[in-house]
Structure 1
Amino acid sequence: MMPSLTALLCLGMSVGPSIQVQSGTLPKPRLWAEPGPVISLGATVDLWCAWTLGAQQCHLLKEGISVPWRTQTFEMPMNTTKFSIPSMTEHDAGRYHCYYNSSAGRSEPSEPLELVVTGVHNKPRLSALPSPVVMSGKTATLQCGSLQKYDRFILTEERGAKNSWTQNSQRGGLRGQVQAMFRVGPVTPSHRWTFRCYGCYRIQPQVWSEPSDTLELVVPGTLPKASFWAEPSSVIPPSKPVALLCEGTLDTQEYYLDKEGWPVNWDRQTSAAPMSRTKFSIPSMRANDAGRYRCYYRTPAGWSQPSEPLELVVTGVYSKPSLSALPSPVVNLGENITLQCASQRGFHRFILTEEGGDKRSWTLDSQHNRGNFQALFTVGPVIPKHNWTLKCYGYDKKNMQVWSEPSDALQLLISGQSRKPSLLTQQSPILAPGHNLTLQCRSDLGYDTFALSKEGAGDLPQHPSRQPQAGLFQADFFLGPGKRSHGGRYRCYGRRNHSSEWSAPSEPLDILIPGQLTATPSLSVHPRPPVSSGENVKLLCQSQNPMDTFLLYKEGAADCPLHLRSEPRAQQSQAEFSLGAASLDLRGTYWCYASQNSTPYLLSQPSDTVDLEVSATHVQDYTVGNLVRMGLAGVVLIVLGILLFKDQHSQSTTQDAAMM
């Protein structure tokens, strides 16, 4: 649709010599263009000149040319004629007049016609500040701008009265851009406010650029707000598709999608037939697509109220943070738990999301801590009805809908009251590097799943149970060849019927990794072997390096190593293990390790072994002596018994004689 030029061009825009037309005495004709005075490059236009009296000749004049541009002569008197331009060029643009000749003389020239050609220069950009959505009764500010140095911009209304406005350009906010600001309104819901703009130069005021993209202002009305949601979700990884669905009423003719802070029309859907719902598709999610959206629908009664806002988020733009539970992902039923989301990148905020279930989320500002940025989330109380599988993301304030990659998923384990299983290892708890580590969780209860927990670790591996024998349920957790990361304290849990509530924890099992500290302690026996049975035995473990704990291990022992705190003495660390009275059970081969509080499950190199020998000879001497003593005591008792018997017998004989 072509705009009227009533107010399109400022006075004095034409250049070059004016046409000297001898003023006639006959009435001036009327000059107009079809389909309009604003014509696309290469299109056809007809200039019509009409008058009331019969004429034999008509002249078309173009300003800047001293002779008639075109002349038509008629065999019979005419009162109208047409001058055709089959393919509009920039040379055809300009200001035109027409006049006619008859036997009565010459007419006055017509009013000027501004004939404009568009599409010669690159199109400018038309936007609404701050948004194309304008409340009823308010005035809108429209900005027409371009990197081409246009001298003027023209804003045209595409519907209704087709008003137009012209402004001189000014330097824009963007480097190298020129622009003009147009204020239109006040706007009302009953009118369709659709605009385009063009740019031109002073030396060719009728040679315009291509038109800008159409901009339509949306004036929210009083109809109920639309329903608005995203599928499959409002949080989308990059390059994945997402659909925004907007639902209005049965007589909806048009839907409009608005992105907050976006100064041009984002998207719209129209249909000749009414449609109660539409879908705005984003085939490949990008950072530019993230933002806050609202949708509107239009019926014959006007536009609706805005929908509730929808936050559309793109993930994966930054590297993922880490998510961990403090101190462990195991939490007792009904208690709260602290989760830490952390990253070395300076995120302003972290968001914690629940996967599945209610899909709840929590947001916190980040805190700087020892080179890391982190947020501590307290969630709970933990109850079985929630899934409690969580992830976290980081983002910046300036792009609140542009998130990092998600952290690895963290699943909380809810520890309940059912009987605890047992956790054991078929190897020694002191695991030599390279040796395979398998931990076995077992119970006589019918648990169908077992989970293994390591203090300080975020993952909770789970295995289905098996029955190696009747009444015993167990799962084997193969952790692979022993390495530094395997050191730690482990517990296991069981559950039945895939419940979200697990058993009470097993007793802890410590896995120790030797050879991780450079120190090598020494071990000595006091008194020096061989040790006599019954003597008090002490083993002394010492290190020249500062150590916090010493561990004493006996070859073949099923029990955990003995632990003692270090006691600094004579510029070295040591611990004295008192084994008590020597006996045959203490015989064996011993060695010791040292560890530090910062890494309690990583041990030093082992000390040299010490063989503890207990002398069996002394044991036999004591046995013989004890037998001799017991024999003598028996003889004494027999003798005493005989003497007592004789004494009683003698007394009885004396009494009988006296009675006689």
Structure 2
Amino acid sequence: MGLEAVLFGFVCLIEQRIWAHSGPLPQSSIWAVPGAVVSTGSAVTIFCRTPPGVSIVCLVHSDSHRECHDFTMQGAQEVFEFSLQNVAHVDAGDYYCDYYKEDRWSALSEKLELMVTGVYRGKPLLTVDSEPQGLSERNVTLLCHPPTFFDTFIFCRDGNASFPQNCLRQDSNTFPISPGSSRHRSTYRCFGSYRNNPNLWSLPSDPLELSFSESSTSDYILQNCLRLSLAILLLLVLGALLLDACPLPQSSIWAVPGAVVSTGSAVTIFCRTPPGVSIVCLVHSDSHRECHDFTMQGAQEVFEFSLQNVAHVDAGDYYCDYYKEDRWSALSEKLELMVTGVYHEKPLLTVDSEPQGLSERNVTLLCHPPTFFDTFIFCRDGNASFPQNCLRQDSNTFPISPGSSRHRSTYRCFGSYRNNPNLWSLPSDPLELSFSDSPGLTVVWGSVAAVCFLLFLIFLFICLCHHWAKCRTTNGKTRSQVKYKSSSPAPDIEENNKYDDLEGIQPENGSQVDTQVSAAEDSQEVTYAQLCREICLERMDSHTSSSFQDMSTQTCVYAALTLSQEEVQS
């Protein structure tokens, strides 16, 4: 029963390890460009970002509508786009992304709530409780007057009528600004909606611009600055210098469908920046700088730069930067764009032997160039126009050691030169490798069985050590209770049917044990002791211990030992 419990525990532990290793697929991310609030009839693009190696991506609408696309032929990409043209009220709602990889579907992404304005033709009126010009540190309340009965009101700050920004949805048609200051100086709009359809909004109100005077605030700051000591003033100056020296967050850059493209194809480079950025630049390695002002396109964080009909001059390193808070950010991480087909020579890719049925053996791929190339690129997966998982090296040999099922794929090779590493030749013909996995699986399961057996032996050894330590403790207690004379002969042993605990002990030398205590013998004393069989065998002499060979299977017995007073005194 104990062995079965141990084996069951080991099986559960192995299943938990396997589950922890596989685990759920990473969750994808979702966003909309130019924003999540769009007007009726406009266009919006929803982007889904997934881990590498994903080809099937789906966009799920809240009304259970599911749109899936197979992007396998578009190469290695991590950002997939779904375009919604001529947006209508049926397009409003919640959107999610998921993808298919490793024979299973991922969990849904975070929710993207898409709002559509202009569905209700009524146009609200936005007013303020008093003339805002010249307001200084006072309470201001905006009022949204609906032309019909709306039970939900949306106040938006910044943006434009088609793509409003910084919106707040609430049940009340009043929007307090308390206290009003220069940081509230902006353009406001309001919309009307209903609770049962919170994603459908009315037409926007006319814009209302608020500005605040800072004269009293400046006087208050000036009076406080005059009261500050020289030490505090120096600390403020140092703090301001440190704050200005803090760099802006770095932007991120990637290419769709990938960073390796063929001559004549198209590629889109995306730059992701923090919120509130309008001017974004794409910097090429040859110092060419392309900047765009995206102010009129609403609140967006992802900006795209399209390269059509790619040629050899487009290859190289690309960076992103942006302008915010009167300063430029640092350059993003490098995006290395490679262009294939620049050199019209086509290499030949071979393998050292026929790959079909290979099983756990060394395999070497050979790239034979038609001309002198000093750099070779081996790519796994993808297609001729958009290869994936590429490795660039100086040697034309690519070892796979040992080959297994995880190397089963389609391979291609390219040629290039060290002085122009971003310009590649035409791809070789595809070479497919397949491997048999039977010996590998045998080794894996054999290893698992060996580990389980080793753990079982360790557990058994711990149990034996624990039992031995327990007997040692009992031995110490027994020796403190029993007194004997070391020079006296071995005690006589005799079968006594009067005590059930001594049944089964057969004496060999005819000696007897007196297990009865006579009340008349005043010169003797009786001591009761608990004797363990193992301890007795350990302490007895070699010739005496032979008389215990036929002892009962009981571990411990209780006996009454009669010792003379002389032996006790000695």
Could you tell me the TM-score, scaled by structure 2's length? 0.32
Higher-Rg member (1/2): 1
Greater relative contact order (CA < 8 Å, ≥ 6 in sequence)? 2
Give the structure with the larger strand fraction: 1
Give the structure with the larger helix fraction: 2
